[in-house]
Amino acid sequence: MEDDMHAMELPDTPELRTKFAEDGAYGMKLLGLAGPDVQPWEDGFRTHDIAEHSFEWWYFDMQLDDGSTLVAAFSTKPSARADGPIAPSVLIIHRDAQGTSIREDIPQPPDAFSSATDGCHVAIGDSHAIGDLAHYDLRMRGDRVQADLVIDRACPSWRPGAGMTFLDHAKRHYLAWVVPVPSGRVAGTVTVDGQARQVTGAAYHDHNWGNRQMNAGLDHWYWGRAHIGGYTVVYARLTTRGVLGVGQIHLPTVMLATRDRLLTDDPLPLRLVTSGEVPGPAPEKQPYPTSLEWTWAHGDEHFRMSVSNPRLIESLDMGDGGASWRHRLLHAGEHPWYYDFTADMELDIHVAGVDDTVTGETLYEKMILR
């Protein structure tokens, strides 16, 4: 529990469940959401009216059947800098089956960005993501990595309630999230250094936005997803910065589903214990654990996710060299860092009439905002 010792778990009490329900209802009204079913417009440009005071990205990752992984993110600006003009970029990360990674961060001028508000139709330079929740067309153009892919959703789109995490008591500042493709299949062509190959595999897509830089309210988070043995699981835990009189708080999120049925998305019972911490790669050496034990128990139902043997896909320095002098002064001594892993997972389920144990791989990240 190296980075978790001083943070408080949210107690699973009737009072807190009532508070969650009230916050969820407020968020639904604020975002204009009618119910739990995700609508195509929710994957559109959500910050178009506050673009200079927000960030937003559309994220895709693919675990390919040939043993490689591919990640793409279409961003309006760095998440560490909510205020300021649009500074669009496309991030492409390719890791081959032998473990060799290529990362390309492709900035573009503001006029190279466009996005629709009634659905996912985002274009940045020569790259684009176009989709309607059920089907997506991806075009990625880097100097070394290019891809033309189609994704077909394999289980229903999901949003955890309103999908909002408020960062202040007044509920003015927030992070928001929707998962159009918790699980899908991908097919198409990937070209690396001029060598093209046909690929198939598993896919995931989510969409994030907010109106305050993440390190203003958060210390770090874990997020991951897996498609194992006919089950889809999306899991996360955000840890806040210290709040006067309260300290740090863990904020969990989880979804467990079959191809056509949600088993649970109740976050309050989710717990995480980490162990086996090791230093990260130079120069900053931000540490990360080598074992993550996720448990969920409510009444007679329970499930467990044991994550082990992480293989580092990428480590990214998230320090914002373009930040203002005021930001650098207020956040002196901090160095945000991002780790992306593939790892082994054992998933043991005893929920909603399902009793099963399956093994496979998960893709997860640790984002350190301090």
| pLDDT one-digit tens code per residue, 241-271 | 766 456 788 899 999 999 889 999 999 999 9
10 confidence band (pLDDT: 50, 70, 90): confident
Mean pLDDT confidence for 105-132: 97
| φ/ψ of residue 14, rounded to 5 | -60, -35
- Say what the pTM is: 0.89
151 confidence band (pLDDT: 50, 70, 90): very high
Q: Encode pLDDT of 302-329 as tens digits.
A: 999 999 999 988 887 766 544 333 333 3
Q: What is the pLDDT of residue 94?
A: 96
63 confidence band (pLDDT: 50, 70, 90): very high
Mean pLDDT confidence for 285-302: 94
**Is-contact 223 233, C-beta < 8 A?**
no
**Is-contact 300 308, C-beta < 8 A?**
no
Q: Encode pLDDT of 181-211 as tens digits.
A: 999 999 999 999 999 999 999 999 999 999 8
The answer to whether residue 2 scores a pLDDT higher than 70 is no
Q: What is the mean pLDDT of the chain?
A: 89
- Copy the structure tokens of residue 223: 């997020």
Of 369, 248, 252, 280, the residue nearest 318 (C-alpha): 369
Q: What is the pLDDT of residue 44?
A: 98
347 confidence band (pLDDT: 50, 70, 90): very high
Q: Is 19 helix (H, G, I), strand (E, B) or coil?
A: helix
The answer to whether residue 125 scores a pLDDT higher than 60 is yes
Using DSSP, how many helices (H) and how many strands (E) does the chain show?
Answer: 2, 22
Q: What is the pLDDT of residue 284?
A: 65
Q: What is the pLDDT of residue 314?
A: 83
Distance, first Cα to last Cα, the chain: 18
What radius of gyration, in Å, describes the C-alpha atoms of the chain? 20
Among 124-138, 235-249, 335-349, which stretch is predicted with the lowest mean pLDDT? 235-249
Mean pLDDT confidence for 129-155: 98
CATH topology of domain 7-34+57-368: AttH-like fold (2.40.370)
Residue 160 DSSP code: S
